[in-house]
Structure 1
Amino acid sequence: MLAPLLSDPDTVRAADEIHRGLHALGVRDPHVQAAIAELPLEDAAAARALGRRLTRTGTSTLTVNVGIALLARLGEPEDVPYLKVLGLLRALTRPVVGALTALDCPTAALVWLADHAEIRALRHLIDAIAARDDHEARTWLINAPLDSGAVGPSTARRVAEAVQLSDILGAEQTDTQAVAQAVAQAGRLLSRMTGLRDYRPEILSYRQATTTYTAFVARAGQLPPTPDHYAILLSVALDLHSGPSVLLDWQPGQREALLHALEAVLHNESWTAVAESEPEDPAERRRVHWLRRTARQPFHRATVSRFRVEATVRDPADPDTVEARVLIDGRPLVPEAFGKGPANSPEYLLDSGRLRAAAEPREVQLAEAYCTEGCCGALYVTICREGDQVVWRDWRRPPSRQPRAELPEYRFDAGDYDAEIERAENDRTWAWPARNTARLIAAGLREQPGLLTRWDGQVGWIGTDFHDQDSTAISFTYWPGLAAGQRDKDGPWLQFVWSLPDDGTPPEHQAATALRQLAERDPKTYAQVRGGSRSHAEVLGFPWPEPEDPEVTT
């Protein structure tokens, strides 16, 4: 449909035909971009003129995308101002960044767009600016907003490399504000590179990691004591203590010295006062409470170092998976042996008793790939007790598409192992109230599964709401006939989620109240439909969520 119109000298007529034709075909914006990239262009001048017509007068993202794709191949400097303004529309940011990059536009155009675009559109812009090797790009990146939705682990590494982070930290500066900004940004980047939203810890691919950590810690005392700066220093300390950063090529005692230096900074009176404050803003208050719960964890010297399990919560300003980190001889097992996702949660590994050792061997999933096991695999081990030893052996990492080094058999003193498992299972210092409420509700439903079954409900996941960590979420699937043992597996079903905001009472009270309500009232009357299908909802007589609701699952 497009090919014959790209050479039409009448750009007005061609633009109208493109508009009508694309909408009649029902294609989507990415299809347009891919099609234009592959089309032969017989008349470059006519195609360029059409691209300009579409970008400047197009009335749908489909037609404008055709124009952007044409200018990505044929554009000139005069097209840059139009493209960068179009990039302010979130739906067009990615193709615009591609076009501006193809045109080798001035860095200033990308910086202008990054300063004005929505946060969620920043990811592609930051990647593009990080690819520029000039002063303007480096200056902007060292001050760029590192929103978690815009800057993932791999982007953080590219930014650190682009700005030459270790050199910036090591340079002499007299501007205290500029120094503080550079140090804070360095801490954010280092912490982000150890994040779990990627398929391997990017910090291990950052060649200047140990140098940058050393330079960062040397400057840490120059940060003013604020909740944000405290959270940055504590996040770095957590990574150095039990995260993938432990696996870097450290000199003997070097990492321990950095942790000791960070501990000295954070235990200064002015810094401890920050953790004792009580901000009015709920998000800031949640963060300060995390500081209090976590302040000692990275500086704890374990008495038993051979085997250790640490429930670890990252900065709530950058929500991520809560994981039960397994350390063997002080080294984090999951990033070293697997590296495609975080360790499983404390609820999965500890509350369930899965890590306990018995004479009967038991296989346990320690971690799952960020994208799911079916895509990139998982890490399994078999745990058993042999006399006075606990043995971890028979490792599996399915699916094994690539040959990988065999993992060794680990043997632990059974007394030390049991003591560590008991300590870890009973340690709830890491958990916040809503998380504890979720744990108690889950335990109650394991003991009384009939509380949901009587309402034709099958329990799903129970935890804290990802978008509101102070709310407990209980999910269940409604299967008509389940209570009577007559569930039709091919019949209609719906997923419900019941959200319980933290009301300030003890978690034990909140959990007991929730379990009592489940026993007395059908949860389908107060929970919200969050999954299934519109047709199933209509058949079963429940309203289907509006399409714009981000929580809907199909």
Structure 2
Amino acid sequence: MSAPSGSAQPSRKTTFYNHALALARRYPGIPLPHAGRPYPDADRRDPRHGSDDESDFQGTRTSRLIDEYFSVPTEHRDIDRLRREIIEYDIETVLWPSIAAAIGRAEPGQARELGRYLTRTSTDQNPTVLGMAMLAAVGTEQDVPLIQTIGLLSNTFGLLASQALARLPDAATNLIWLADRTSGWGRVYLVYALCELGDRTTEPWLLRKACDGDYLNGEFAYKVACAAPVHEAIAAPDPDEALIDHTGDLISTLAWCDGMGGTLWDYEHAEHVLTHYLSHTRGLAPNPDRYRWMWSLARFLDGRPNVTPPDWATLQSLRTGYWSLLTTPPWHSIPATAANSDNERTREWAYRILDELGRRGAERRG
């Protein structure tokens, strides 16, 4: 499938919900291009948006607005005024304790009704955020389709959607549905939530689908390695190809993600997993993704990008095994072919690999 192109600027009168719903129908079952941007309010958001003067530190301003709104009798509450006030500053897209406490001081049914109304009918980002925050605090199973639809705009609403879905029934199923349709930071929040559920029904997905090749996978790779029984699954005598490949993606990410999360140095089963991953990968046909994963792990075993290699009993045999496989003719043909690619970045990647392989060969001969 070719990469989807971005959507045109939606009408100013389009609600965020209808915007997300239209894109979901246009791109069913996959992440929305550009996480659903541009939004309906893109041409009217204040250029100062996000400055310190316009921010809402840990939800203090929003919690005050919630208290003020619910402090007056129902017949005197002005939703339009609330909307006008909420768009005057930068509301953060997270359910801060102060906001959750303010929502908790309201009657749950009334807070839920307001949350649904704002989420479904708002044409500006900030009221939609407030609505989602309310659903994250007091939403019910009935709200799952609404939460998931707005959650497709994942870089903005992924965290609130994950907070909302994690506390509702069928959390694993509902979080996985949304995670399969998100990328970038939205996916990070959803994978975090899945790892923290402690629900074994999430394991097949975490073992095969959590990583999608994005750089931000480094934010959650260690959490996935700890939450899912990777070391047990890869040690099975005949694991499926999807599990083997995802294991390669996951542990090669752990080889370079220092500063983002835990790494292979922190992972207690690293030696065991690398041993079994090598054994199973020998039986697979090489392709560019598999080559990149094996390459990253071979360099890790050489002490790169770290200062020194790991202190493992099997280090030398693993190092020999990884580099030997990469230099066999079928595997070596991957960078050799890529060196003739029309894509400049692909050629540069191939040149770096072939240059390093040449230096390693010269060192051995010397």
Q: TM-score, normalised by structure 2?
A: 0.71
Q: Deviation of residue 111 (structure 1)?
A: 1.6
| CA distance in structure 2 between the aligned counterparts of 1:91 and 1:247, rounded to whole angstroms | 39
Q: Which residue of 1 aligns with 2:227?
A: 162
| CA distance in structure 2 between the aligned counterparts of 1:262 and 1:132, rounded to whole angstroms | 35
The structure 1 residue matched to 2:172, chosen from 103, 107, 122, is 107
Q: Which residue of 2 aligns with 1:255?
A: 315
| CA distance in structure 1 between the aligned counterparts of 2:361 and 2:163, rounded to whole angstroms | 45
The structure 2 residue matched to 1:237, chosen from 264, 274, 298, is 298
CA deviation profile, 1:80-136 (whole Å, cap 9, x unmatched): 111011011132122221222233542222122122224453211222222344455
* 8 Å CA contact 2:255, 2:264 repeated in 1: yes
The structure 2 residue matched to 1:276, chosen from 328, 336, 344, is 336
Q: Following superposition of structure 1 onto structure 2, how do residues 187-202 of structure 1 map, counting pairs within 5 Å?
A: 187-198=248-259, 202=263
Q: Following superposition of structure 1 onto structure 2, how do residues 150-549 of structure 1 map, counting pairs within 5 Å?
A: 150-152=216-218, 154-173=219-238, 178-179=240-241, 181-198=242-259, 202-243=263-304, 244=306, 248-251=310-313, 254-277=314-337, 278-295=340-357
| CA distance in structure 1 between the aligned counterparts of 2:75 and 2:331, rounded to whole angstroms | 65
| CA distance in structure 1 between the aligned counterparts of 2:202 and 2:307, rounded to whole angstroms | 27
Structure 1 letter corresponding to 2:330 = S
* 8 Å CA contact 1:157, 1:193 repeated in 2: yes
More helix by share: 2
Q: How high is the sequence identity, in percent, across the aligned residues?
A: 23
| DSSP-derived class of the 2:147 partner | helix
Q: Deviation of residue 6 (structure 1)?
A: 3.1
| CA distance in structure 1 between the aligned counterparts of 2:195 and 2:361, rounded to whole angstroms | 34
Higher relative contact order (CA 8 A, sep 6+): 2
Specify whether residues 247 and 102 from structure 1 end up closer, same or farther in structure 2 by C-alpha distance, changes over 3 A only: farther
**What stretches of structure 2 of length at least 5 have no aligned partner?**
1-64
The structure 1 residue matched to 2:188, chosen from 93, 106, 123, is 123
| CA distance in structure 1 between the aligned counterparts of 2:128 and 2:328, rounded to whole angstroms | 57
Q: Which residue of 1 aligns with 2:212?
A: 146
| DSSP-derived class of the 1:203 partner | coil
Specify whether residues 301 and 208 from structure 1 end up closer, same or farther in structure 2 by C-alpha distance, changes over 3 A only: farther
Q: Which residue of 2 aligns with 1:76?
A: 140
* 8 Å CA contact 2:192, 2:223 repeated in 1: yes
| CA distance in structure 1 between the aligned counterparts of 2:93 and 2:287, rounded to whole angstroms | 47
| CA distance in structure 2 between the aligned counterparts of 1:298 and 1:267, rounded to whole angstroms | 11
* 8 Å CA contact 2:144, 2:165 repeated in 1: yes
* 8 Å CA contact 2:222, 2:254 repeated in 1: yes
Number of equivalenced pairs: 295
Specify whether residues 13 and 241 from structure 1 end up closer, same or farther in structure 2 by C-alpha distance, changes over 3 A only: same
Structure 2 letter corresponding to 1:262 = Y
* 8 Å CA contact 1:231, 1:291 repeated in 2: no
Specify whether residues 53 and 7 from structure 1 end up closer, same or farther in structure 2 by C-alpha distance, changes over 3 A only: farther
| CA distance in structure 2 between the aligned counterparts of 1:199 and 1:117, rounded to whole angstroms | 20
| DSSP-derived class of the 1:206 partner | coil
Q: Deviation of residue 288 (structure 1)?
A: 2.4
Structure 2 letter corresponding to 1:163 = A
| CA distance in structure 1 between the aligned counterparts of 2:279 and 2:344, rounded to whole angstroms | 32
* 8 Å CA contact 1:237, 1:262 repeated in 2: yes
Q: Deviation of residue 248 (structure 1)?
A: 4.1
* 8 Å CA contact 1:220, 1:265 repeated in 2: no
* 8 Å CA contact 1:29, 1:61 repeated in 2: no
Q: Over aligned residue pairs, what C-alpha RMSD do you find? A: 3.0
Specify whether residues 6 and 67 from structure 1 end up closer, same or farther in structure 2 by C-alpha distance, changes over 3 A only: farther
Structure 2 letter corresponding to 1:195 = W
The alignment status of 1:48 with 2:112, answered yes or no, reads yes
Specify whether residues 33 and 126 from structure 1 end up closer, same or farther in structure 2 by C-alpha distance, changes over 3 A only: closer
**What stretches of structure 1 of length at least 5 have no aligned partner?**
305-554
